[in-house]
């Protein structure tokens, strides 16, 4: 089982790599669901870790229906990170009605030809997840990161299993609320990959159904990185 760990610092990246993670997803401001990291942070992690590195491209916290100006910035950032040798891009773009903006994802797939493309948990807002997953697979998206449209992947396990059985090329990668107590459930269910950050929320407000990636953020919410979680979770599935 492939283990992807979401990190926002060099320290966390090194811990995850040394613990046996197969891949890193890098972002900043994880408490808000993550935004595009700085080029300097990317380069620091490239120098510190010999492990595949995927970069979240998200101009700012909030929704996933981007203006033309924001979209142009997304394309520029993808090109910039491709030039410095990242191995994958993580993206999610919707329309105002929360359907996937297929034209933009097709353009990004063409732009990222040769490196891995993950569609992230913006998927958990789409009104028709079955059709949306078919569309993403047809476009050539490599991995779909999703909680099964619930606050946690355990709650969304039924849909996750349905998606896994339906796709033939794209990898369904469960993520959200995965911890040492439940990670083995996803391996036992036959998933090829799993995604987690190894953090716990402190001072957070209750989750809001249908709102993913931290669109509703409490000012006093912080994330505490738990190195022991990283080690124990990876050990459970390796």
Instruction: Give the pLDDT band of residue 63 (cuts 50, 70, 90).
Output: very high
Q: What is the CATH number of domain 2-237?
A: 3.20.20.380
Mean confidence (pLDDT) of the chain: 93
Question: What pTM, to 2 d.p., does this model score?
Answer: 0.92
**Residues with Cβ within 8 Å of residue 77, at least 6 apart in sequence:** 36, 57
Instruction: Give the pLDDT band of residue 201 (cuts 50, 70, 90).
Output: confident
88-143 tens-digit pLDDT: 999 999 999 999 999 999 999 999 999 999 999 999 999 999 999 999 999 999 99
Q: Domain locations in the chain?
A: 2-237
10-45 tens-digit pLDDT: 999 999 999 999 999 999 999 999 999 999 999 999
pLDDT at 211: 37
């Amino acid at each position: 089982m492939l283990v992807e760990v979401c990190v926002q610092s060099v320290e966390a990246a090194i811990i995850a790599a040394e613990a046996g993670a197969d891949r890193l997803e890098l972002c900043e401001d994880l408490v808000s669901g993550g935004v595009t990291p700085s080029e300097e942070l990317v380069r620091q992690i490239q120098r510190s870790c010999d492990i595949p590195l995927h970069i979240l491209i998200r101009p700012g916290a909030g929704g996933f229906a981007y203006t033309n100006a924001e979209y142009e910035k997304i394309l520029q950032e993808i090109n910039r990170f491709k030039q410095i040798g990242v191995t994958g891009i993580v993206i999610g773009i919707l329309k105002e009605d929360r359907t996937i903006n297929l034209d933009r994802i097709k353009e990004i797939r063409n732009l990222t030809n040769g490196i891995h493309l993950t569609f992230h948990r913006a998927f958990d807002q789409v009104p028709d997840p079955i059709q949306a997953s078919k569309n993403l697979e047809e476009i050539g998206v490599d991995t779909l990161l999703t909680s099964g449209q619930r606050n946690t992947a355990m709650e969304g396990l039924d849909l996750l299993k349905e998606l896994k059985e339906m796709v033939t090329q794209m990898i369904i990668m469960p993520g959200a609320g995965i911890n040492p107590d439940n990670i083995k459930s996803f391996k036992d269910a036959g998933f090829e990959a799993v995604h987690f950050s190894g953090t716990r929320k402190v001072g957070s407000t209750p989750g809001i159904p249908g709102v993913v990636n931290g669109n509703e953020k409490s000012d006093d919410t912080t994330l505490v990185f738990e190195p022991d979680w990283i080690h124990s979770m990876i050990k459970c599935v390796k």
